[in-house]
Amino acid sequence: MNSGERRIRIREQLAIAGGPVKGAMLASLFSVSRQIVVQDIAVLRAEGASIVATPQGYLLLPGRVSGMLTKTVVTRHNDSASMEDELRIMVDRGARVLNVIVEHPLYGEIAGNLMIFTRSDVDRFMEKMRESDGEPLSTLTGGVHLHTLEVPDETTWSSVLGGLREKNYLLEEK
């Protein structure tokens, strides 16, 4: 199989997976190195495929979910328990957490794709953070960060904001 055929098959695998796919799994499936998969993903992205790398693996994004609103929220917390609580508030109230963004004074905007849609996704993310001794991006900015969310309607958005405000995670102008 040549590289073009492999890229088509990688895209097909991502499309039918129904969730993130580890690069190592793709490498094994196509008998290539992990680095070859990384290069193939880069080429697919350059060709216009909406593929994101999440902590759980590569994910082919469908087009925007019909009827969903995209919103940005600015929050602050300073420990992993608060981070887990913040994520749970958002997904429990019906939001899909697409990413986290920090505004770094030297590098500018730094974003990490999260693709957290359910409590199970929150659990997996937190477990991976604990296992890797990783630090959240928000440690670079004193806990301040943004999330891009998808919500089905304004009522859900208000509920998310209310939950975050109740726990003092929502960063608002005073």
Q: Residue ranges of the domains in the chain?
A: 3-60, 69-166
Q: How confident is the model at residue 75 (pLDDT cuts 50, 70, 90)?
A: very high
- For residue 48, the model assigns a pLDDT of 77
Provide, rounded to the nearest whole percent, the portion of the chain with pLDDT above 70: 96
Q: In what order do the strands lie in the sheet with 108-116?
A: 69-76, 144-151, 96-104, 108-116
**Apex 151 CA angle, 150 and 154, nearest 5:** 135
Fold (CATH) for 3-60: Arc Repressor Mutant, subunit A (1.10.10)
- For residue 151, the model assigns a pLDDT of 94
Calpha distance 87→20 (Å, rounded): 19
- For residue 105, the model assigns a pLDDT of 82
Start-to-end CA distance of the chain, whole Å, equals 60
pLDDT tens digit string along 10-68? 999 998 887 889 999 999 999 999 999 999 998 888 787 888 888 788 988 765 555 78
Fold (CATH) for 69-166: Histidine-containing Protein; Chain: A; (3.30.1340)
- For residue 5, the model assigns a pLDDT of 93
98: CB partners within 8 A, 6+ apart: 70, 113, 114, 115, 147, 148, 149, 150
Summary mean pLDDT of the chain: 90
* Positive or negative: CA dihedral 104, 85, 56, 146: negative
* Phi, psi dihedrals of residue 27, rounded to the nearest 5°: -60, -45
- For residue 65, the model assigns a pLDDT of 54
- For residue 173, the model assigns a pLDDT of 53
Q: Is the pTM of this model over 0.75?
A: no
pLDDT at 1 over 80: yes
- DSSP labels for 63-85? SPPTTPEEEEEEEE--SHHHHHH
Calpha distance 59→50 (Å, rounded): 8
